[in-house]
Amino acid sequence: MKKFILMIAFGILSTGAFAQAPLGEGNTQLNAGVGFSGWGVPVYVGLDYGIAKDWTLGGQFSFQTDDDPYHYNGNDYHYDSSAIGIGGNINYHFNSILHMPSNFDFYGGLSLTYYIWNYSDYGNYPHPDHDSLGLGLQIGGRYFFTKSFGINLEFGGNTVNSGGKFGLTFRL
C-alpha cells in the first residue's frame, strides 16, 4: 500500500513540470473551496480572467453561516446569521519579477464584495458584523499539479471571510 501511495504522489508531482502559471491573457480559471475566519465557515466559487500580462480580474460568490449562543441578563439566547457575498477582485501575479517556477503562482490584490445578510437580532440591535460592503486586500498562491489543476491558498482582511480560504483551481 505504501508503494502504491508513493507511486501516485510521484506521478502527481512529476506532472507539475507541465503546469503553466500565472493565468495568461484571455484565459479563465475556476476556483472553489472553503474559507477560515472567526465568523462561520465560508464556502466560495469564483472565476479569474487574464486581462494582461501578470494581471487578472475575477468575480466570486460566497456563502457562510454562523450560529452563536450567548447569555444576557440571566437568559440564554441564540443568534443565527448568514451572508451571501457577491464580489470582484483584481490581482497582480509576481511570477515574472520573482522568476518563480511555472507550477507556482504567487499574487496579491484588492477585492470589493457586496453582502446580502439574513440575521436574527437581539433586542433590536443587529449583529456587529453585518456590513453590506467589504473592501479587502488579499495575498495568495497556487500550486499546479498539471496544466489545468491546482490548489490555492489565500489570506486576506476586511471582508466577511477575513482570515483566508483554501481550495481547488481548474483552468478552463
Q: Report strand pairing: 133-144 vs 75-93.
A: unpaired
> Over the stretch 48-91, which tens digit does the pLDDT of each residue have?
999 999 999 999 999 988 777 776 788 777 667 788 889 999 99
- Residues 159-169: tens digit of each pLDDT: 555 678 899 99
Q: Work out the average pLDDT over 13-35.
A: 73
Q: Return the higher-pLDDT residue of 140 and 36.
A: 140
> Which are the contacts of 29, defined by CB distance < 8 A and separation ≥ 6?
23, 47, 48, 169, 170, 171, 172
Best CA proximity match to 46, nearest among 94, 113, 102: 113
Give the mean model confidence (pLDDT) for residues 143-158.
Answer: 89
Domain ranges of the chain: 2-171
Q: How many whole angstroms separate alpha carbon 74 and alpha carbon 71?
A: 7
- The string of pLDDT tens digits covering residues 89-106 is 999 999 989 998 989 999
Q: Please state whether the predicted TM-score (pTM) of the whole model is above 0.85.
A: no
Closest CA to 37 of 10, 66, 17: 66
Q: Which of 110, 165, 164, 162 is nearest to 135 (CA)?
A: 110
Q: Which three cell numbers stand for residue 55?
A: 494581471
> The domain 2-171: what is its CATH number?
2.40.160.20
- Nearest 5°: the CA angle 30, 117, 153 is 30
Which has more confidence, 41 or 15?
41
Give residue-wise pLDDT tens across range 125-149. 555 556 678 888 999 999 999 989 9
